[in-house]
Structure 1
Amino acid sequence: MEEIIQREVNVWDTYVTKKDGNTMHFDIIAPVEVSDAEIIYNYGKAYMKMKGQEGASLSSKQCKLCHIETLKPEWLEEIVQKGYFIIEMEGCN
């Protein structure tokens, strides 16, 4: 786990239209080694399902690689467990 602490992560900026028509904005945080966009989209879809928003479209139109950032300790446990971390920005509740 020590080697993960030193890593950088990709931040994928994501905007999805919810079932009620409002926008859900969240960031998907994943290790830089995960470069396959389909994997990232699947992370986003898993999160959306957890929030009761399954079925919404998630593709390059809604989810884009934004920047690279240093991994924050509070993200580590979920990234080790699930492969990703979600930062809820707007309309996620």
Structure 2
Amino acid sequence: MYAVIKTGGKQYRVEPESIIRVEKLNANEGETVEIPAILVRDDNGNIKTEGKVKAEVVKHGKHKKVIVFKFKRKKNYKRWNGHRQPFTELKITEIS
């Protein structure tokens, strides 16, 4: 059984007991969040276009730093910028 969910502008294929990292959600660690499913496929191969996925918030954090470097040759122009995207780690508990 698996489901396809959409959160943070991205789609994820999830299964029960799987752990995924999504864009930061406004939920505390240990809380349960409910995400609408776009597509649900059960063990018999039946496909439904609606469903719900319950997930537990495991932790919040930041990804590794990405360096953004801009320059213009022969003009002595150089700019460095770093970015760390925040994320929420979810553990899928139930698909219905």
The higher radius of gyration belongs to 2
Q: TM-score, with normalisation over the residues of structure 2?
A: 0.27
* Higher RCO (CA-CA < 8 Å; seq separation 6+): 1
Higher helix share: 1
Higher strand share: 2
